């Protein structure tokens, strides 16, 4: 007899809160913790069911990430080699020339990427930099690629400028749980990150927000991280899940060198991906930094658990990445193909706007 899987019972007696597309935004921490506690195979089964309901299970979106301004960031993020507080050897550079960025985007497109992400090591962009940033967005869009920017905190005016330029996504990660956040970064508050996401949303730009696991956090912190995103008024259209890449000279890189047991294990990482997929069913769940240290089997489990986007190419900002050839070989072994169609939440938004 086949038994239908059910989600953990809601702890609260209040009415379920859903968005216009029927997804829940009132997940409790207890419910998310119950997902993490499920037997691993049961959790993967449920996540795969949710994934197949909203996404094509044989397609994974290929993305490329370029550092358009490296190093010299005044923030003190404990994981980041680009912080002025880090002794990582990363030198500060100026903002890249627009044409150089567009050339990189064209190369990424020719290698199969459909999404081009540009990151600058800033606390926030200066108004004098906005004309070049806008030119990059417009240029990449004209190539037919999806655009994403991560520039730090934004003012209302800057968010409006990016929206007018046609930016598809703005990335601003919350990094970890609200409780753990202050141990990772002190120069910007958790609430300031949420405020930037609100400015992005208000401007009409799609939200990309996720975080990093493997920073010595507890499972309770991973529950809190997922909960913070899954209870936003509208789920982020894009949720990157990164595994920490420990870099010597950073606070967390040095800490993990001394206490390697703090590093997250592969099964727990997959559980995090699965919990993100179940609680944010229509979002793109992006398997981001840390893939170069994952086995092919672990990556395959992430795809089963609902990850449907990866960064390809040899580098992610300042960290190494798997590379185009390795990804093509992995896709061939797994029977996966690059995603060609529109993402569910973006497609819904375009339909609602009559586009």
Radius of gyration of the chain (CA): 19
Report in angstroms the alpha-carbon separations of 59 from 47, 55, 285, 336, 340. Answer: 16, 8, 12, 6, 8
Given 24, 63, 115, 148, which residue is catalytic? Answer: 148
Distances in Å between the alpha carbon of 101 and those of 42, 91, 139, 300? 44, 19, 9, 32
What are the residues facing 62 on neighbouring strands? 310
Q: Do 149 and 105 touch, CB atoms closer than 8 A?
A: no
Which of 24, 63, 73, 115 does the annotation list as catalytic?
A: 73
User: Which residues, in sequence order, are CB contacts of 297 under 8 Å at separation 6+?
Assistant: none
Q: Is 307 helix (H, G, I), strand (E, B) or coil?
A: coil
Both tokens of residue 153?
């905190």
d(C-alpha 71, C-alpha 65), whole Å: 16
What CA–CA distance (Å, rounded) separates 305 from 301? 6
- Which residue in the list 193, 286, 291, 302 is annotated as catalytic? 286
| Catalytic residue chosen out of the listed positions 24, 77, 193, 282 | 77
Contacts of 234 (CB under 8 A, 6+ apart): 19, 25, 201, 207
The reply to whether 208 belongs to the active site is yes
CA atoms within 13 A on the CB side of 144: 7
β-pairing, 169-171 vs 206-208, is parallel
**Helix, strand, coil percent content, the chain, rounded in steps of 5:** 45, 15, 40
Catalytic residue among 188, 193, 201, 208: 208
CA distance 113 to 106: 9
**46, 63, 80, 302: which is the annotated catalytic residue?**
80
- 302 catalytic? Reply is no
In the residue annotation, 73 being an active-site residue is answered as yes
Q: Say how far apart CA 278 and CA 103 lie, in whole Å.
A: 38
| 48 within 8 A of 304, measured Cβ to Cβ | yes
- Pairing type for strands 315-316 and 319-320 reads antiparallel
Q: How many CB atoms sit inside 10 A of residue 151's CB?
A: 25
Find how far residue 100's CA is from the centre of its chain.
25
Q: Is 286 a catalytic residue?
A: yes
- Write out the catalytic residue numbers: 73, 77, 80, 117, 148, 208, 286
């Amino acid at each position: 007899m086949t038994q239908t899987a059910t989600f953990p019972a809601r702890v609260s007696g209040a009415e379920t809160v859903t968005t216009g597309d029927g997804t829940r935004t009132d997940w409790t921490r207890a419910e998310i913790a119950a997902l993490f506690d499920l037997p691993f195979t049961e959790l993967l089964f449920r996540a795969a069911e949710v994934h197949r309901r909203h996404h094509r299970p044989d397609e994974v979106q290929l993305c490329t990430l370029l550092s358009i301004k490296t190093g010299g960031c005044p923030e003190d993020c404990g994981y980041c080699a680009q912080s002025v507080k880090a002794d990582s050897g990363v030198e500060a550079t100026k903002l890249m020339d627009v044409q150089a960025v567009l050339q990189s985007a064209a190369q990424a497109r020719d290698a199969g990427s459909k999404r081009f992400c540009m990151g600058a090591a800033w606390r926030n962009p200066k108004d004098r930099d906005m004309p070049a940033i806008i030119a990059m967005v417009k240029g990449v869009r004209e190539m037919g690629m999806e655009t994403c920017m991560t520039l730090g905190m934004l003012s209302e005016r800057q968010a409006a400028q990016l929206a007018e330029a046609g930016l598809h996504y703005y990335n601003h990660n919350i990094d970890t749980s609200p409780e753990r956040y202050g141990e990772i970064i002190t120069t910007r508050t958790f609430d300031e990150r949420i405020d930037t996401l609100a400015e992005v949303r208000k401007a009409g730009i799609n939200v990309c927000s996720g975080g990093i696991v493997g920073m010595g956090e507890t499972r309770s912190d991973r529950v809190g991280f997922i909960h913070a995103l899954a209870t936003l008024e509208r789920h982020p259209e894009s949720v990157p899940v990164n595994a920490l890449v420990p870099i010597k000279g950073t606070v967390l890189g040095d800490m993990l060198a001394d206490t390697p047991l703090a590093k997250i294990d592969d099964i727990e990482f997959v559980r995090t991906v699965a919990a993100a997929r179940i609680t944010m069913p229509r979002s793109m769940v992006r398997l981001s930094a840390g893939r170069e240290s994952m086995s092919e089997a672990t990556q395959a489990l992430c795809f089963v658990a609902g990850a449907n986007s990866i960064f390809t190419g040899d580098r992610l900002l300042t960290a190494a990445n798997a590379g185009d050839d390795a990804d093509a070989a992995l896709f061939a072994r797994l029977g996966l193909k690059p995603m060609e169609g529109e993402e569910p939440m973006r497609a819904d938004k375009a339909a609602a706007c009559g586009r």
